[in-house]
Amino acid sequence: MQATATQTNPIISFKHVNKIYDNGTVGLKDINFDIPRGQFLVVVGLSGAGKSTLLRTINRMHEITSGEVLVDNESVSDYKGKALRHLRRQIGMIFQNFNLVKRATVEKNVLSGLVGYYPTWRCVLGLFTPHDRKRAFQALDRVSLTKKLFSRADELSGGQQQRVAIARALMQDPKIMLADEPIASLDPRTTKAVMDTLKRLNREDGITVIVNLHSVELAREYADRIVGLRSGELVYDEPIDQVTEAGLNQIYQTKPEA
Ligand SMILES: Nc1ncnc2c1ncn2[C@@H]1O[C@H](COP(=O)(O)OP(=O)(O)OP(=O)(O)O)[C@@H](O)[C@H]1O
C-alpha cells in the first residue's frame, strides 16, 4: 500500500518526552507517538494522569525535561522570541473555564485572538481595522454566534462562552487546536454544541484537534483515535474502529504494586 501524506508527515511528534516538575512530580514519562495532520485525537485518563501537561508541551506552556516535541518536523524546545511567537500563533487553545474577559463584548474577546499578531497595546486600546472586525464576525459565524457580537461575554451561557473562546482561537488561523477539558463545566446539551463545533472545524477546515476529556463516552463519539495516559505514561493508543470497552478499562486500572 502506498504511504499517504499523513502517514509520512505527522504534524506533531513526541519523542521520548519526559516532564518532571520542579517539586519532583513526574508529569510525563517517555512519551512517544505521532499525530497525523487533520486528526481528531482525544486524550483520556484519570485526574492527574498527565493530560494537561501533555497538551501544554505542544505550545510550550510547559517546558519538557528531556526528549523532543516536533511540530511540522521541527523540534520546538529551543524556540525563543519570534520563532516561539510564530509557533503559538499556529496553535489555538481553549480551556475548561473559557478564559474570556467577562465584562468585555463578545466582539472584543474574539478580536483579542489577534494578540499574537499585534503588539498587546494595540489590542488593549482596541485599535482594530475594519478587516479585523470582518474576520471576527466570520469567526463568530463559524461557531454560529454572530447574533451575540455586541453582548457582554458574561451574559452568555457556558456553552456559548466556550464557542466565543473557539472563535477567538480561530482569529489566529490555527493549524492545531488544543482543548483542555473544554466541556467539563457544561451541561449535556451545550457539551454537544461545543464538541460538534470542534468536529466541524476539524472536518471542514482541516484543523488538527487534540482534546483532553474525562468522558470516555464522548471520546468514543468524537475521536478518530484515543490515547490513554496513566501516571504520565502512554498506556493506550488505538484508532476509533479498534477501541473496545475492555481496552479502555485498562487505562483506568491502578498500577499493580511492584
Ligand atoms: N505546576 C505543577 N507543579 C507540580 N506538579 C504538577 C504541576 N502541574 C501538574 N502537576 C502534577 O503533574 C501530574 C499530571 O498533572 P496534569 O494536570 O497534567 O494531569 P491531568 O490528567 O490533566 O489531570 P486533570 O484531569 O485533573 O486535569 C499530577 O500529578 C499533577 O499533580
ipTM computed for the complex: 0.97
- Name the residue range of residue 130's domain: 98-173
Is residue 28 in some structural domain? no
Residue identifier of the C-alpha nearest atom 30 of ligand 1: 48
Give dist(CA 214, CA 234) in Å, integer. Answer: 16
Question: CB-based burial of residue 93 (10 Å sphere; 0-12 exposed, 13-18 middle, 19+ buried)?
Answer: buried
Per-residue pLDDT of the chain (258 residues; tens, 9 = 90+): 444 444 568 999 999 999 999 999 999 999 999 999 999 999 999 999 999 999 999 999 999 999 999 999 999 999 999 899 999 999 999 999 999 999 999 999 999 998 777 766 666 666 788 899 999 999 999 999 999 999 999 999 999 999 999 999 999 999 999 999 999 989 888 999 999 999 999 999 999 999 999 999 999 999 999 999 999 999 999 999 999 999 998 898 865 544
Is residue 29 in some structural domain? no
Ligand 1 contact via 228 beta carbon (within 6 Å): no
Is residue 134 in some structural domain? yes
Ligand 1 contact via 52 beta carbon (within 6 Å): yes
* pLDDT score at 2: 44
Is residue 155 in some structural domain? yes
The residues, any chain, with a CB within 8 Å of residue 220's CB and separated by 6 or more, are 226, 240, 243
Give the three cell numbers for residue 116: 499574537
Give dist(CA 26, CA 47) in Å, integer. Answer: 14
Is residue 131 in some structural domain? yes
What spacing in Å lies between the alpha carbon of 173 and ligand 1's midpoint? Answer: 29
Is residue 217 in some structural domain? no
Is residue 41 in some structural domain? no
pTM of the model: 0.92
Ligand 1 contact via 8 beta carbon (within 6 Å): no
* pLDDT score at 189: 86
Number of domains in the chain: 1
Atom of ligand 1 nearest to the CA of 19: 12
Q: Which of 52, 183, 216 to mutate to test the pocket of ligand 1 (most atoms within 8 A of CB)?
A: 52
The answer to whether the CB of 149 falls within 8 A of the CB of 172 is no
